Structure formats: C-alpha cells, structure tokens
Structure 1
Amino acid sequence: MTTARDLMIVALDMASSRPVERGDLSLALAGAEMIDLLDAQDIRLDGDHIVPSIRRAIADRLLDEAAASLAREAPYESVGDWLWRRGRGLSAAYLAAFEAEGHLTRQRRRRWMLFHTSRTELVDSPARRLAADRWTSNEPVLASLAAALGIRNDQTGDSPGVAEDATATVLAAVNDALQELAVERQRRAIEEAAADNIRRGE
C-alpha cells in the first residue's frame, strides 16, 4: 500500500464524522504520492524543485502515473506547481481505482419508497486493516496529511513531527496549497453572494 491509498482509506472511513472537500483531498493525495516517491528515491528535492531519478516501473498504477507525470528536464517543476497539476481530479481517480479493485461497494438504500440512493463504503480488506494500523499508530506522515485535511486521531492526540527535511517541505507545500484553495473558495462565495444580492435587487 502507498501513503496516498492509506490517506484515501482514512478519509473514507472518517467521512461520516469529518467530510473532506474533494479538492482538498486531491491536493493531499498528490502530496502523499510525492512523499512515497521521495522515500523510494525516485525523486529528490533541489530546494523546492523536484528532480527525478532514472525512470523505473512502479507496481502501484497510480503512483507510477505520478512518476510518469514528472518533468524530467530542467527547469524542473516546483513542489507547489506539481501538487496543483497532479492533484487535479486525483481523489476521483483514487475512488475509481478503489471501486475497480473491489475496495469499495455501493450500498443501495430506499427513501420514501420512490427514490433509491447509493452510498460508497469501504469493504473489509487487508489494505483497510493495514491503513487502520498505520493510522492508530499515529505514523507521522499519514497523521500530518490527515491533520492538514482537518482529520485528527482523537485516540493519539496531536500529529508527531516529521524529521526528514524533504518530507517536511512537501507537507508545508500541501498546507500552503490547502490554504490557497480555502481563500479561493471564500472569494468565490463572497462574489456569488454579491451576485445573488444584485439579482434580488438588494
């Protein structure tokens, strides 16, 4: 399992108590992929720029796609720019992969005898149990990424610090991107409210 897959499982497991915006999750998943690529020495950071190593096949399809998307010639892409580019629609890609692999099931429910709804739920699997073990152990990287999304482990308290400089750089970039996205959402909400007021003649 990869950090991104573990993060996706944690987000899905916590969805009922702490729903996460898809855009936020996509950025955090991209950060998780980058951290795994760093750990595997498929990339290194030169300041805040991503320098790929020799291309090799990666067993996990989505992480392999992440590696394939890297700029392999100078000037190399910054961490922040890559998070935004790679993160576009990434949570939907992980959901689709989970469903295709049998990690998700759709629970159909009947409402008012007329309408049917479906809800996506994780199935019990070794992958889910491994992610849960990593979560309950308060592993620093997973805990930090989840905390950035507003998901905290009540049983273990605050997220532990991350010692590795490159990993800390990625986590900081994820937090910056999430803050930028929150500001953009707020700006759009204000503009939409102003437009509604104009339409109502207020």
Structure 2
Amino acid sequence: MTTPRDLLIAAIDMAGSRHLERGDLSLALAGAEVIDLLGAEAIGLDDDRIVPAHPPVMDDRLLNEAASSLVRQPPYESVDDWLWRRGRGLSTVYLAALEEEGQLTREHRPRWMPARTSRTVLADSPARREAADRWTSGEPVLAALAAAAGIRDKPSDDSPDVSDGAVATVLAALDDALRDLAFQRQRRAIDEAAFDNVWRGE
C-alpha cells in the first residue's frame, strides 16, 4: 500500500467522528504522493522545487500517474504548485480507485428504514489491515498528514518528529496550502453573507 491510500483509508474509517473537508483531503493526498515519490527516489527536492529523476515503475497505478505528470523542464514545479495542480479533485480519484479494486463496498440500508440509501464502507481487506497497523503505530509521516487533513489531532509535543528534511519541506508546504484554502473558504463565506444581506435589505 501507499501513503495516499493509507491516508484515505484512515479518513474513511474516521469519517463518522470527524468533519472532513474534501479539499483538505485532496491537498493532503497530493502531499502524500510527493512523499512516496521521494521515498521511491523518483524525485528529489531542490529547495522547494520538485526535480524528477528516472522514475522506477511502481506497483501503484496512481503513483505512476503522479510521476508521469511531473514538470520535467527547469525551473520545475514548486511543491506548493504541485499540491494545487495535482490535488484538484484527487480524493475523488482515489475513492474511485479503491471502489474499482473492491476496497470499498456499498452498504444498503434495509427496506424498512425510512431513508433507504446506501453508504460507502471499507471492505475487510489486507490493505485496510495494513493501513490500520500503520495508523495505530503512530508512524510520524502518516500522523502528520492526517493531522493536516483534519483526520486526527495535531501531534503532541512528545510525538516523534519527521526526521527527513525533504519530507518536512513537503509537510510545511502542505500546511501553508491548507491555511490558504481555509482563508479562501472564510472569504467566500463573508462575501456570500454580505450578498445575502444586500438582498434582505440589511
């Protein structure tokens, strides 16, 4: 399994207890892809620029797609630009992949229930168990990504730090992107409230 998939599985498992913003999750998934590409030595970082290497063929289709979409001409792409470009709608892409692979199933409510709808649930699979093991181990990278996306609380002061400098750069860029997204949401909400007030004559 990959870090983006483990992150998404954790998000689905926690969906009942947390309000998650899909945009936040998509940005975090894009950050997780960069981290896995670093680990596979498919890329390197020059300051905050993603420098492609000769990527190995990876077992994961979506990571291969991510590697193939890298900007391969100088001055290359910053991590921030990657997060916004690659992250657009990425949670939907990963959800579709999990469903296609049988990792997600539709749980149908009984006929006698008032609002008979289906919801998506995780299948009991080796991938889910592997993600759960990584989650419960408190692995620092997954914990940091999950905290950024709102899946879990921010790590405490005594939590293990991410020791890899390149990974820390990606996580810092992700935090900046998420703050920017939160600001955009807040500004949009203020604009919409002002527009409503105009129509009400306030």
Same fold (TM over 0.5): yes
Aligned counterpart, 1:165: 165
CA contact (8 A) 1:51 1:76 kept: yes
- 2:170 alignment partner AA: V
After superposition, where does 1:27-106 map in structure 2 within 5 Å? 27-106=27-106
How many angstroms apart in 1 are the aligned matches of 2:6 and 2:114? 37
Aligned counterpart, 1:19: 19
CA contact (8 A) 1:27 1:87 kept: yes
Deviations 1:28-82 (A, max 9, x none): 0000000000011100000000000013322201111110110111110000000
- 2:168 alignment partner AA: A
How many angstroms apart in 2 are the aligned matches of 1:181 and 1:112? 42
- 1:44 alignment partner AA: G
For structure 2, list consecutive stretches of 5 or more residues without a partner in the other structure: none
Deviations 1:145-194 (A, max 9, x none): 0011223279x966421010000000001111011000000000000011
CA contact (8 A) 1:111 1:117 kept: no
- 2:84 alignment partner AA: W
Root-mean-square deviation over aligned CA pairs: 1.8
How many angstroms apart in 2 are the aligned matches of 1:43 and 1:106? 37
User: Relative contact order, CA 8 A, sep 6+: which one is greater?
Assistant: 2
Aligned counterpart, 1:138: 138
Over the matched positions of the two proteins, sequence identity in percent amounts to 69
Aligned counterpart, 1:149: 149
How many angstroms apart in 2 are the aligned matches of 1:160 and 1:188? 37
How many angstroms apart in 2 are the aligned matches of 1:113 and 1:20? 26
- Relative to the length of structure 2, the TM-score reads 0.94
How many angstroms apart in 1 are the aligned matches of 2:192 and 2:111? 32
- Write out the 4+ residue segments of structure 1 that deviate beyond 6 Å after TM superposition: none
How many angstroms apart in 2 are the aligned matches of 1:113 and 1:129? 31
How many angstroms apart in 2 are the aligned matches of 1:102 and 1:19? 25
How many angstroms apart in 2 are the aligned matches of 1:109 and 1:201? 45
- 1:107 alignment partner AA: E
- By how many angstroms is 1:114 displaced? 6.2
SS of corresponding position for 2:169: helix
